[in-house]
Amino acid sequence: AGGVPRGAPGRPLRTAAPVGSDIFRELGLGLERVVQTLKEQLPSSRGGWGSWTPPGGPPGPRPPEEADIVVVGGGIMGWSIAFWLKVLERQRHGMKVLVVERDPTYSQASTVLSAGGIRQQFSLPENIHMSRFSASFLRNINEHLGIPSEPPIDIQFQPSGYLFLAPPESAAKLEATVQLQRSEGARVALLSPTQLKEKFPWMDTEGVALASYGLEDEGWFDPWTLLSAFRYKAMSLGVYSCTGEVQSEDGGGAHSRVIPPPRPPRTPHLTPPPQVRMPNSREYQPVACAIVVNAAGAWAGELLEAAGVPKELCQPPLPIQPRKRYVFSWHCPNGPGFSCPFLIDTTGAYFRRDGISGNYLGGMSPPEEEEPDPSNLSVDHEFFQEHVWPLLARRVPAFESLQPRGAWAGYYDYNSFDQNPVLGPHPRLENLYVAAGFSGHGLQHAPAAGKAVAELVVKGRYETLDLQRLGWRRLMDGEALQEEGVV
């Protein structure tokens, strides 16, 4: 009544649909909604619908509520320590070891951003000892890190040796250092400028008075392969791992990398349980544990400074800070060939071959007063153009026509006290151990340092290598162990 009749002008003529078709259409829409709901709320499976997390919850598995040992830092040092802890445990599954790493992609990890070198040429006996142990470990890597039914590990080691060049004013010091290296079992040759030119005719020897050349157990390898091998082997032995940042309850610290929440001091003084913050979440998971190992690399100093422990218990401070270092790559078809070593120039500039097709990589450390901002890993390409390239071209004339290809930046866990690692128990926090401050040689020393720290934790003493001088005592006494071979 009063409506427009069917078929009237201005209104389309419709035919009645069968009742059954509406039922099937509604049923189909209902099934689609059910499927979509399941996709959004059911846990993911390998090859399934993707990631899933409960609404408001953190992604990924939560850390365990308790562990015997928590290793903070899942770089090469942290995983080496975890591996050796399980190797040395007195009974199978006797220790619950947890490794906490904040970046599972390792996009900013010092380990994978390094130049991958290993050398015996250090000026401190302890560093030489660690290099010799690590070289033997890498030579027999499948005996240590191989996993049954998995392919053999190939770290792509290139045994091309390190070549250190010394100007006249440093020649005597280099000769004395080589004598020390030889007394510790390293095979190192001393070369005059004439011998240097004969062996490496592509080199300009102007300004070089003496050179030292590693004949054995020196070269470079693939850092990612070694890190992965340590990680997979440790996990096969029962090590737990989780993703998250170790923080205080208030999220304190300039980079939010701190160990425990604030607690009043106790006697004996112990590190309170770590608080692991879930990734992309505001949730924390406290992990009750007996021992904490600070293997946070460049951030180890901040981790301890912001721990919430009374300042008087954190003395002396841990003098470890992040230092940004650039690695540049270039192509030069007529550059040094297959015999090209890992060369350290008199100026501090370095380079090595990268493959066998005329590709190279290198860089140099900047002066102390020109340290770049470590808050990010951006690259200053002008540093190569203005500082590194001229030095390389003077030493290797063929590099005058090199073609830059790319660059990246990584972090040194730089010990500003003496450029050597700090290893062992904290002098005032009885359940805190530290393994950091390697100042650029942590990758090559990780197999040795990891075992040394594990021996301290499990057995209470060093057995394989005596690294007591690298402990906290020298910081307390103000007696530096200066390493001259920092690159």
Cα 93–chain centre separation: 27
Express as a percent the part of the chain with pLDDT over 70. 81
Q: Is the separation of the CB atoms in 34 and 27 below 8 Å?
A: no
The residue extents of the domains of the chain are 60-157+218-249+267-319+416-486, 158-217+324-411
Average pLDDT over residues 82-109: 92
CATH, domain range 60-157+218-249+267-319+416-486: 3.50.50.60
Q: Is the separation of the CB atoms in 445 and 130 below 8 Å?
A: yes
Average pLDDT over residues 55-76: 79
Average pLDDT over residues 21-47: 55
Residues 6+ apart with CB under 8 A from 276: 63, 100, 242, 244, 245, 246, 247, 284, 285, 286, 287
For residue 250, CA distances in Å to 3, 273, 277, 361, 416 come to 69, 14, 11, 43, 29
Q: What is the pLDDT of residues 334-367, one digit of tens each?
A: 999 999 999 999 999 999 999 988 999 999 999 9
User: Is the pLDDT at 125 greater than 70, yes or no?
Assistant: yes
End-to-end distance of the chain based on CA atoms, in angstroms? 96
Nearest to 68 by CA among 465, 461, 460, 457: 457
| Block residue for tokens 């020649």 | 171
Nearest to 486 by CA among 237, 119, 215, 40: 119
Q: What is the pLDDT of residues 273-325, one digit of tens each?
A: 788 877 777 777 888 899 999 999 999 988 877 555 667 767 788 999 999 99
> Structure tokens of 247?
């923080």
Average pLDDT over residues 393-400: 98
Handedness of CA 145, 150, 155, 159 (dihedral sign): positive
User: Is the pLDDT at 90 greater than 60, yes or no?
Assistant: yes
Q: What is the pLDDT of residues 39-57, one digit of tens each?
A: 444 443 333 333 444 444 4
Q: What is the pLDDT of residues 172-212, one digit of tens each?
A: 999 999 999 999 999 999 999 999 999 999 999 999 999 99
Average pLDDT over residues 230-236: 97
For residue 296, CA distances in Å to 303, 370, 413, 434, 474 come to 8, 25, 9, 9, 21
Q: 158-217+324-411 domain in CATH 3.40.50.720?
A: no
Nearest to 232 by CA among 223, 243, 241, 244: 241
Q: Are domains 60-157+218-249+267-319+416-486 and 158-217+324-411 of this chain identical in fold?
A: no
Q: What is the pLDDT of residue 63?
A: 85
Q: What is the pLDDT of residues 216-231, one digit of tens each?
A: 999 999 999 999 999 9
Nearest to 446 by CA among 221, 257, 241: 221
Q: What is the pLDDT of residue 304?
A: 79
Q: What is the pLDDT of residue 246?
A: 84
> SS3 helix, strand, coil % of the chain, rounded to 5?
30, 20, 50
Measured distance CA(139)–CA(156) in Å, rounded:
11
Nearest to 484 by CA among 123, 14, 147, 241: 123
Average pLDDT over residues 238-265: 57
For residue 23, CA distances in Å to 15, 29, 36, 459 come to 17, 10, 20, 74
Express as a percent the part of the chain with pLDDT over 90. 69
β-strand 422-425 against 432-436: which pairing, if any?
antiparallel
Q: What is the pLDDT of residue 283?
A: 75
Let me know how many helices (H) and strands (E) the chain has, helices first.
12, 19
Nearest to 130 by CA among 364, 479, 434, 469: 469
